[in-house]
Amino acid sequence: MICDNKNIVITGGTVSLGKVLARRLLTGEFGLPKKVIIFSRDEAKQHAMRVEYEQTVKQTDAVLYENFTRLLEFRIGDIRDFHAVSAVLKEAEIVINAAALKQVPSCEYFPFEAVQTNVFGAENIIRAIRENQTGVETVVGVSTDKACKPVNVMGISKALQERIFIAGNISVPGTRFICVRYGNVLASRGSVIPLFHEQIKRGGPVTVTTMDMTRFLLPLSHAVETIMAALKEALPGEIYIPKIPAALIIDVAKGLIGDRAIPIVYTGIRPGEKIDEVLVSEEEAWRTYDSGSYYAIQPLLPEIVKAQPDIQPLNKAYSSGDFVMNLEETENLLRLNGLLLEQKRGESEFLQ
């Protein structure tokens, strides 16, 4: 199995994706790693992660807790710091780069901060592998739909990160550099669903930018599976993209509100936002092929491309506005992922 007996480093490992990824790696379902290293700059989140395993996992899953104590290691460090990156990659064989500045408005107001994390951070990984001649076999860059036809700083910096990792296949030919690109991860830190939850708990209003805004919606478990599929199957320089549902954000809000008498207020598009997100652009479609549950975008650089004469490329872009779920389907997706808030008796009348 792809992760069996491997030293795996997750940069930005205390974010929602990193926590779920680490937990599933420790179950051994993708092969039991030799070591899983959580690399991040936030000591408080690392401590909270330790406490969660000590207080919750210990009582509910003895095997997972044992693997946590044997295999999981925490390292404080910043992806921006070349020396810290070099140190954590010394024994790494698989690197999953989830470290990012990802809030669209924050990146607009502080663009160079986004560049330092999302762009220089990727270059630090490549440089550390090249200069220290480490044994890193594969690097997976975690990207976003905002990197496709970017209109904001966050997307531009992530698009550059993709290209930096892809070019790494030339400067460090002994390591495979690949990427995954997907849309909004359901209930991840900083995403719209936790915001809606808080607004609903306070009695509203729930704020929505525009009535026609759509987004891809991806459960955290599917995000992990996309990374694992790319690790197993992706060729050097490819970007793996899951086939995932999209929804109107207004339907997400309505589904979470349910029968509560909570108003919805339209606030207008924030700096750098799009109405629809795109995972594969028209320009990328001609070098994108169907890989079962995923699309794979081949790299632009001809030195990296592996000829696959029998594949049929897409003939159009892949947008969140193409196949939008209706309200019932959106509610079902939220319900299946445990995201609907329980409504207490009399709550609707009280909020009126």
Catalytic center residues: 146
Token pair, residue 161, equals 């990160």
The H or E element that residue 37 is part of is: strand 35-40
DSSP state of 234: P
Sequential DSSP letters for 76-143: E--TT-HHHHHHHTTT-SEEEE------HHHHHHSHHHHIIIIIHHHHHHHHHHHHHT----EEEEEE
d(CA 210, CA 273): 11
Instruction: Return the amino acid letter for 115.
Output: V
**Exposed e or buried b for every residue in 298-310, given b needs 16+ CB within 10 A?**
bbeeeebeeeeee
d(CA 39, CA 42): 9
Nearest of 217, 189, 192, 218 to residue 206 by alpha carbon: 192
Burial of 234 (0-12, 13-18, 19+ CB in 10 A): buried
Task: Give the Cα-Cα-Cα angle 62, 68, 74 (nearest 5 degrees).
Answer: 160
- With both helix axes pointing from N to C terminus, report the angle between 120-132 and 153-171 in degrees, rounded to the nearest 10: 10
In contact, 94 and 37? CB cutoff 8 Å: no
How far is the first Cα of the chain from the last one, in angstroms, to the nearest whole number?
55
HSE-CB of 41 using CA atoms within 13 angstroms: 12
Token pair, residue 244, equals 């995932």
